[in-house]
Chain A
């Protein structure tokens, strides 16, 4: 009876999580959604504390661990700058992955604690397979997220690391994992070493899967690891026979998968080609030399201020460069100033602008830009033709017309913001170098383009000054 009640409460918790995600369909309901998520988590934790028989040391351990972990989490959440969200999310994914490995290990060593042991005190074969899968996906999530974190944090180069035969090596590692899972199952979980070998191989595989993927593909990587962390939780939900874990794992797994799909579509690349990696490695060297023989028109902050002041409609297209320069507040000041002078200002966001899904939206929200001034690619692309100014700040590849008219371009077919249709295009950039995809942007050399070379924040501040 208590077990049935617990199972029902876990189901309730899972439903709260579904409602939490449902809340994110609009910013108005999102805050309430987040609270429902917290309630769901509280239900799951209280249910476990009430229904699992605990000894005194166990309870003390739990209280201590929650206090320390919760404190660390709260401090991080409070202090982290919004520009570092991609790293933070990657770091959090790694914790979920590691947690999955640890829980799988605990289930292997102490099946009785989870009431999943057979009368002989062993685990069922099916449980062993589920548990090993959970540990495998968890370990891949952990080491992959650590690499993603290091790339995003700048602790290692964002450039893809590629060597010959890596696909064969990855396949071999995958095959080895399967062999050891079979071995673990056949031994009815007695050969615990097999579990650790599986975990170790999966850790290596996680590193191998992420190092060949370049910086610009990070939105896909972060979404993909999000998805993996969900599948790891779901696998353990099977082992532990827990509805909250099963439902949540499925939700998170499909959420990450959908985000990966949206990001891939935003780059017009297949998921497989992103996973295979290596994009943007060789092309950049070839393109670097080519741009020298053409001249781009450069302008000053004063020129930009004058033209925008007299414009009727300005569309701002932000990119990763805005995040790096922390330019969102200065940009917002510029937009407010223009609006005060009667200019219609809106923002255009490309799905893969930045380093994670929705990265630009969060930064603009941080700068108190109302979200109803911020538009997605498909909603605003037709508006560039009627705009007087397109103000591109820290974005490059996502505005490249070669994606539409040059079949030889590596990014051909990728949906782009049609900024060139505006009467004047301003490019705030540090240099004329090509973007992360390593592709030259012909837009720099067009007659109606003016380059504003410099740091995105300083340039925005100078424009605000010039606007008076």
Chain B
């Protein structure tokens, strides 16, 4: 038998990850659906790895570094998303409190 095309391995990882995503996301409590959206937003900015490679690598044709410029712009956009996404999620999650903790805070005179 000949060697398996690497594409098939990628496909396998992808398909299995879809299943993992399916089960993990169904177990997310509906109360946290908004933070779920903002955090998935932040992690999908992992596309920055492609942007970093494009911006960082030496241009094939230094006179016309198109890939580099496009990559740098993509790094900028993805950074907005990464910092914005994780921090706004953190801000939201910090607000979710249980009854006892809220009462304690109220009694503490906050």
Contact = CB atoms under 8 A, between A and B. Distances in A.
A357 interface: yes
Given A37-B42, A65-B76, A45 B49 contact: yes
Nearest to B75: A65
Q: Which secondary structure characterizes the binding site on chain A?
A: helix
B52 A48 contact: yes
A192 to B, nearest CB: 10
Interface in B1-35: 6-7, 10-11, 13-15, 17-18, 20-22, 24-35
B63 interface: no
Given A251-B17, A254-B18, A361 B43 contact: no
A113 B13 contact: no
Contacts of A449: none
Interface string B37-60: 111111111111111111111111
Nearest to A113: B57
A95 B39 contact: no
Interface residues of A, number: 120
B103 to A, nearest CB: 8
B23 to A, nearest CB: 9
Given A59-B56, A61-B68, A252-B44, A34 B30 contact: no
A238 B34 CA distance: 29
A102 B46 contact: no
A371 B86 contact: no
B55 A61 contact: yes
A27 interface: yes
B79 A68 contact: yes
B3 to A, nearest CB: 16
A358 B20 contact: no
Contacts of A450: none
A74 B83 CA distance: 6
Contact of A114 (B10, B38, B53): B53
B6 A236 contact: no
A226 B11 CA distance: 21
Contacts of A372: 98-99
A110 interface: yes
A68 B74 CA distance: 12
Contacts of A284: none
B41 A93 contact: yes
Contact of A77 (B33, B34, B77, B83): B83
B79 A66 contact: yes
Contacts of B60: 110, 112-113, 121
A69 B32 CA distance: 26
Contacts of B83: 69-74, 77
Given A53-B57, A105-B70, A73 B32 contact: no
For B15, B46, B52, B74, which residue has the most chain A Cβ atoms within 10 angstroms?
A: B46
A101 to B, nearest CB: 9
Contacts of B108: none
Nearest to A47: B49
Given A20-B43, A72-B84, A106 B50 contact: yes
Interface in A111-139: 112-114, 121, 126
Given A85-B34, A357-B37, A365-B92, A126 B7 contact: yes
A254 B19 CA distance: 8
Contact of B40 (A95, A114, A255, A365): A255
A27 B31 CA distance: 8
Interface in A27-72: 27-28, 30-31, 33-34, 37-38, 40-41, 44-45, 47-49, 52-55, 57-59, 61-62, 64-66, 68-72
A258 B7 contact: no
A365 B97 contact: yes
B36 A368 contact: no
A248 interface: yes
Given A251-B21, A362-B95, A66 B56 contact: no
Contact of A22 (B27, B73, B74, B78): B27
- What are the 8 tightest A-B residue pairs by CB atom distance, in nearest-first order? A69-B79, A358-B33, A73-B83, A110-B67, A73-B84, A250-B17, A357-B33, A106-B54
22 contacts: A27-B93, A30-B35, A30-B93, A34-B39, A45-B49, A47-B49, A54-B57, A69-B77, A106-B54, A106-B66, A110-B66, A113-B57, A226-B40, A230-B44, A248-B46, A250-B17, A251-B20, A252-B21, A252-B43, A255-B36, A351-B30, A357-B34
